[in-house]
A and B are shown apart, each in its own frame.
Chain A
Amino acid sequence: MADRARLRGPEPVTVELSINHRTRILEIEPRTSLLDALREQLDLTGSKKGCDQGTCGACTVWVDGRRVLACLTLAITCEGREITTIEGFSDGRRMNAMQRSFIKHDAFQCGYCTPGQVMSAVALLDEGHASSDAEIAE
Chain B
Amino acid sequence: MADSVTRTRTDLSSVTQDGVGTSPRRPDGTLKVTGEFAYSSDMWMEDMLWGMTLRSPHPHARIHGIDTTEALKLPGVHAVLTHEDVPGEKLYGLELRDQPVLAFDKVRYKGEAVAVVAADHPETARRALDRITVDYEVLEPVSDGRRAAFDEHCPRVHEEGSLPVHEEYNQKGNLVRYQPVRTGSFADGTPVSRLRAQAGAVVRTEYEVGMQDQAFLGPESGMAVPAEDGGVDLYVATQWLHVDQGQIAPALGLPDEKVRLTLAGVGGAFGAREDLSMQIHACMLALRTGRPVKVVYNREESFVGHVHRHPAKMRFEHGARSDGTLLYATLEIILDGGAYASSTPAVVGVASSLGIGPYEVPNVAVDAYGVYTNNPPCGAMRGFGAVQACFGYESQMDKLAEKLGMHPVELRIKNAMAQGSKIITGQVVDMPLPMAEMLRRARDMPMPPARDELPDPSDLRTLPGGVANTSHGEGVVRGVGYGVGLKNICYSEGFDDYSTARVRMEAIGGEPSVMVHTAAAEVGQGLVTIKGQIARTELGVERVTVHPSDTRVGSAGSSSASRQSYMTGGAVKLACEAVRERVFALARERGLVGAGHSDELLSLTGGKVVSETDGVLASLADLLGSDAVEETREFHHRTTRPLDPLHGQGASHTQFAMCVHRAVVDVDVDLGLVKVVALDAVQDVGKVLHPQQLAGQIQGGATQGLGLALMEEIQVEESVIRNPSFTDYLIPTILDTPPMRIEVLERPDPNAPYGLRGAGEPPTLSSTPAIVAAVRDATGRDLTHAPVRPEDIVGIDV
CB within 8 Å of B: which residues of A?
39-40, 43, 45-53, 55-56, 58, 85-87, 89-90, 95, 99, 102-115, 118, 134-138
Closest to B736 in A: A137
Q: Say which one of B33-41, B326-334, B479-487, B499-507 lies at the interface with A.
A: B33-41
**Contact (Cβ within 8 A) B33 A111:** yes
Are B32's CB and A111's CB within 8 A? yes
In the bound assembly, the distance between CA atoms of A104 and B2 in angstroms comes to 10
Besides A45-B44, A103-B29, 10 new A-B residue pairs in contact (Cβ under 8 A), listed by A number: A48-B267, A51-B726, A53-B726, A95-B33, A106-B23, A109-B524, A109-B696, A110-B267, A112-B39, A115-B34
B217 touching A48 by the CB < 8 A rule?
yes
Known contacts A53-B725, A110-B267, A118-B33; decide if A138 and B217 are in contact (CB<8 Å).
no
Query: Cβ of B614 < 8 Å from any Cβ of A?
Result: no
Complex A-B: 29 CB contacts under 8 Å:
A45-B35, A45-B38, A45-B39, A46-B34, A49-B296, A50-B218, A50-B726, A55-B725, A56-B726, A86-B34, A89-B34, A89-B35, A104-B25, A105-B692, A106-B2, A106-B23, A106-B693, A108-B32, A110-B217, A110-B267, A110-B523, A111-B524, A112-B39, A112-B216, A115-B34, A135-B461, A136-B734, A137-B734, A138-B467
The distance in angstroms between the C-alpha atoms of A137 and B736, with both chains bound, is 9
Contact residue among B33, B269, B299 (Cβ-Cβ distance under 8 Å from A108): B33
Report if A53-B35 is in contact (Cβ < 8 Å); known contacts: A48-B217, A103-B26, A103-B30.
no
- 1/0 per residue B753-764: CB within 8 Å of A? 000000000000
Judge whether A138 and B693 touch: CB under 8 Å: no
CB-contact partner of A51 in B37, B39, B299, B466, under 8 A: B299
The 4 A-B residue pairs whose C-beta atoms are closest, nearest first, are A46-B35, A110-B524, A111-B32, A112-B267
B1 interfacial contact with A, CB 8 Å? yes
Q: Is the CB of A85 within 8 A of B41?
A: no
Interface residues of B (CB under 8 A from A): 1-2, 23, 25-26, 28-30, 32-39, 41-42, 44, 122, 216-219, 266-269, 296, 298-299, 459, 461-462, 466-467, 523-526, 692-693, 695-696, 700, 725-727, 734-735
Report A-chain residues with C-beta under 8 Å of the C-beta of B700: 109
Measured in the bound complex, the distance between the Cα atoms of B735 and A52 in whole Å is 21
Among candidates B38, B466, B525, B726, residue contacting A109 with C-beta atoms closer than 8 Å:
B525
The dominant DSSP class at the B interface is loop
Bound CA span A46–B42, Å: 8
Contact A95 B34 (CB under 8 A): yes
Q: Say whether B34 contacts A110, CB under 8 Å.
A: no
CA distance in complex: A138, B701 (Å): 23
Contact B29 A50 (CB under 8 A): no
Bound: A51/B268 CA distance, A: 14
Specify which chain B residues have a CB less than 8 angstroms from the CB of A102 in the assembled complex.
Answer: 29, 33
Q: Which of A39, A43, A106 contacts B696 (CB 8 A)?
A: A106
Give, as a whole number of angstroms, the nearest-CB distance from B648 to chain A. Answer: 36
B735 to chain A: closest residue by CB: A137
B305 to chain A, nearest CB (A): 14
CA distance A114 to B218 in the complex (A): 12
- A109 cross-chain contacts in B, Cβ below 8 A: 268, 524-526, 696, 700
